[in-house]
Structure 1
Amino acid sequence: MGDHEQNESFEAFRKSLSYGSRNDLNFKFFKGMSDEQVASFLQDLLHKLGDAYDTGDVLPLIEAAYEAQAEGYSPEPDAPPPRNSFEEGPFTPLEKAIANSTVGMLTTSGHFVAGDDPMPFGEASLTQEDAVNRINEFLREIPLLSEIPSDTPTSDLRVRHGGYDIRSAVRDPNVTFPIDRLREVQARGGVRRLASTFFSFPGATSQGRLRSELPGWVERIHEEEIDVMLLVPV
């Protein structure tokens, strides 16, 4: 039975938004919620939409969606920890003031420079639609790290990531790759300098293979002589 047939269950409907026939990466979190949770969210959203007709204020709609996302992605209280989780990490104290530091950036947003496509699967010109449709392949693939000169104009940035809706990042790369914001901080004297190269890769990738790639990435990043690294998980 197809997703859109008359007898489709509500469960099938909500799951179809996560890489299904109604795929919508802004609402794929429905898959992690119960029918009752999604129904309650939609009822509340429609109520707030009715209010917005009169007030013109859409902020409550956005806040409701954010709250539902947090609920949908939160593990159950008795759920085992994710396979790739760490209770603690090494603490490295900052040895100098940030204003005297060199700042780098690493994001999982999937950005790269126009003309320097990392070519997943060895294929040129892979589209965002391709990335979404092949998400399961990405989750088994070796991650590819893109090097982005920190003086790159935002108009030369490209983004591709099968795990999130990139429309906001296309409109304004700073949403997930805040390159202009870092430049503004430097212009105000907030940091001494920006690293000559920033880095990005799509976080929807094989976590096991990511670990095997990390030593080489760390070695490359150390070449930038970075004091502070801004990490932007997506």
Structure 2
Amino acid sequence: MTEETISQLKKSFSYGSRSDMNFKFLKDLTDEEVTKFFQELLWKLGDTLDDGNLQRIISHIYQYQQKGYVGTGRFKYETTAFTQVELQKDKMRFALIASTGHFVQGQDPKPFGVEDMTQNQAEERITDFLRLEPELTSIPTNTPPDQLKVRHGGYDVRGAIMDRNVNFPIDRLNELAADGIIGEFSSPAYSFVGACSQMRLQNHALPRWIEKLHNEEIHGLILVPV
């Protein structure tokens, strides 16, 4: 049996032999932090076996996810997407854009020309996605849940499959519009795969998308990054 170092272990969770999108953050921790993460996790599992309290496990994982992801981004922007709102929300027309990889059944964007690409295949081709200019997919806001699909090589999509509003909140925004809290929820909503070429996103895709939203007379944009 080949011995494995802590460094090799933590990297294996990020598109390696143990690839797991929920735990790929381990590669960005130090070896000491990874050791501490697993040791404390086992302690907390023991306590949970006694009292059934899963919250300590969830909190522990979230704590280390935050440690892993802080400061890992390579791209920095001089400006932000946030602008002071001057209109009243109940007079505004809102649109939704999410980097979640959603699309309507039968309208698969077919990345790289691949028919019915699976989630596993998307994860295996993450490096290819990171070179790709993103494509915006249109999703009518009345799309039934069973007609909305999701695929993204950069995160675990199981939560999004169980409840689309986890990261694509069209039902919640429809409710806000119906209750008069916002003026209108514009249809269609939009999604793209955020694991893409950031330079092509910034320099090529975004200017076109902004022009499109201006033409749709959108007042406010709900951005959901993953």
Task: Note whether the superposition's TM-score is higher than 0.5.
Answer: yes
Deviation, 1:169, is: 0.5
TM-score (norm 2): 0.94
1:78-114 deviation line (CA, Å, top 9, x unaligned): xxxx542124337633231101111110100111111
Aligned AA for 2:68?
G
User: What's the counterpart of residue 217 of structure 1?
Assistant: 209
1:99-154 deviation line (CA, Å, top 9, x unaligned): 11111101001111111111111222111111000000000112111111111112
Greater alpha carbon shift after TM alignment, 82-91 vs 16-25: 82-91
Deviation, 1:36, is: 0.8
Confirm whether residue 31 of structure 1 aligns to residue 27 of structure 2: yes
Confirm whether residue 104 of structure 1 aligns to residue 100 of structure 2: no
Greater alpha carbon shift after TM alignment, 136-145 vs 83-92: 83-92
TM-score (norm 1): 0.91
Aligned with 2:42 (options 46, 57, 61): 46
Q: Identify if the C-alpha distance between structure 1 residues 43 and 190 changes in structure 2 by more than 3 Å, giving closer, same or farther.
A: same
Greater alpha carbon shift after TM alignment, 84-93 vs 205-214: 84-93
Aligned AA for 1:39?
T
Helix, strand or coil at the partner of 2:103: strand
User: What's the counterpart of residue 174 of structure 2?
Assistant: 183
Distance 1:44 1:83 in 2: 30
User: What's the counterpart of residue 149 of structure 1?
Assistant: 140
User: What's the counterpart of residue 124 of structure 1?
Assistant: 115
Structure 2 stretches lacking a partner, 5+ long: none
* Shift >6 Å, 4+ stretches: none
Aligned AA for 2:36?
S
Query: Is residue 6–residue 34 contact of structure 2 (8 Å, CA) maintained in 1?
Result: no
Helix, strand or coil at the partner of 2:196: coil
Aligned AA for 1:103?
F
Distance 1:35 1:167 in 2: 28
Greater alpha carbon shift after TM alignment, 142-151 vs 91-100: 91-100
Structure 1 stretches lacking a partner, 5+ long: 77-81
Distance 1:75 1:93 in 2: 26
Aligned with 1:136 (options 127, 136, 144): 127
Confirm whether residue 208 of structure 1 aligns to residue 204 of structure 2: no
Distance 1:131 1:202 in 2: 10
1:147-205 deviation line (CA, Å, top 9, x unaligned): 11111112211001000000111111111101111112122221111101111101000
User: What's the counterpart of residue 65 of structure 1?
Assistant: 61
Deviation, 1:64, is: 0.7
Aligned AA for 1:161?
H
Percentage identity across aligned positions? 46
Helix, strand or coil at the partner of 2:26: helix
| C-alpha RMSD of matched pairs (Å) | 1.5
Query: Is residue 109–residue 201 contact of structure 1 (8 Å, CA) maintained in 2?
Result: yes
Distance 2:191 2:160 in 1: 13
Aligned AA for 1:149?
P
Query: Is residue 104–residue 194 contact of structure 1 (8 Å, CA) maintained in 2?
Result: yes
Paired positions, count: 225
Query: Is residue 196–residue 224 contact of structure 1 (8 Å, CA) maintained in 2?
Result: no
